[in-house]
Amino acid sequence: MYAAAPPRTANVEVLSLALVVAVVAHVLVITQLHVDWMSSGSGEQAPSLDVILVDSASEQAPEEADFLAQANQQGGGDNPDLERPSEPPPLEAGAPPEPAPQPVEAEPDRADRADEVVATRAPDAPTPEAAREQAAEDALPDAQELLAQTRERVTAAPDPLAFERVTPKRPRRKFVTANTREHLYAAYMRAWVGKVERVGNMNYPEQARRQGLDGSLVLSVDVLADGSIERVQVLRSSGHDLLDEAAVRIVRLGAPYAPLPDDIRAETDILTITRTWQFSARAGLN
């Protein structure tokens, strides 16, 4: 026969029960400590500040104050108990708050005020605009000053004759045509025309001869005192550019011409000759 085994199941149950009891005991102890800490913390409150608004003020501050207010106030009366000072009546709804008292600046001494300069204008003093207009009128010269200034300008003016001597004169011009009857200019014009015709026939445009071109044109020629040509203008064309260009070229080929006679030079500086020239393939230039 075998010996009986020890009751193993009963030992395990005893250990489990002991462990549960230990855990419950620890939980109770921790919970109690937390509740005590919370109770002690909630009992302590932050200090508060009690401020009172009073409706009167004293010039001298009390030596020992029992309350805090917006102004100094000496307590009084025959009440033996300590009470809060009287407060101003509450403001009505919508009423604006009373403004805080503004500090009063001390008035400066008379010595300081004496240094200040106050710029004032007398009641009858003119305005700045009127003063400027009056100053402008005063600056205008009177009649005597104007006369004196005029005399100075006339005296200081340059000599008109000296100015005329310095300024070059415009050249004098004389215009002559084939209808000129004056003997002095007519004689010079006949000699001038004769030379132009001789030069023109000697240098007649060969192309115009081959083409049988005929035509007449009006030329204006400016002859200087020494016989040179200043300008040649075609006043009326012949209708053929070949003939117009040939006439201008012939006049310039004949230059220089005879100088202007002394009698003509005494009257003019430039002699302008205007004449009609005829080109003919059979008769030449005339």
Model confidence, pTM: 0.43
**Mean pLDDT, residues 39-60 taken together:** 60
* pLDDT for residue 246: 95
Average pLDDT, the chain: 75
Residue 91 lies in a domain: no
Residue 218: inside a domain: yes
Domain residues for the domain of 278 are 173-285
Q: Which residue has the higher pLDDT, 56 or 7?
A: 56
Predicted confidence at residue 118, as pLDDT, reads 45
Q: Is the per-residue pLDDT at 262 higher than 80? A: yes
Q: What angle do CA 96, 99, 100 make, to 5 degrees?
A: 145
Confidence band, pLDDT 50/70/90 cuts, at residue 117: very low
Note the pLDDT of residue 31.
72
What pLDDT, on a 0 to 100 scale, did the predictor assign at position 122? 53
Q: Is 216 left (phi over 0), alpha (psi -120 to 50) or beta?
A: beta
Could you tell me if residue 216 is inside a domain?
Answer: yes
Residue 17 in any domain: the answer is no
Any idea what the CATH number is for the domain that residue 269 is in? Answer: 3.30.2420.10
Range with the largest mean pLDDT of 3-7, 18-22, 92-96: 18-22
**Over 90: is that where the pLDDT of 258 sits?**
yes
Tell whether the model's pLDDT for residue 162 goes beyond 90: no
What the block records as the tokens of 142 is: 């009177």
Residue 24 lies in a domain: no
Taking residues 209-232, report their average pLDDT.
95
Nearest to 56 by CA among 79, 83, 34, 75: 75
Does the pLDDT value for residue 17 go beyond 70?
A: yes
Q: Which residues, including other chains, have CB under 8 Å from residue 230's CB and lie 6 or more apart?
A: 222, 223, 224, 270
279 within a domain of the structure (yes/no): yes
Asked whether the predicted pLDDT for residue 121 surpasses 90, the reply is: no
Residues 127-141 pLDDT 10s: 777 777 777 666 666
Residue 221 lies in a domain: yes
Contact by Cβ (8 Å): 52, 87: yes
Does residue 248 fall inside a structural domain? yes
In sequence order, what are the residues at sequence separation of 6 or more whose Cβ sits closer than 8 angstroms to the Cβ of residue 203?
246, 249, 250, 253
Q: Is the pLDDT assigned to residue 120 strictly greater than 70?
A: no
Counting the structural domains of the chain, the total is 1
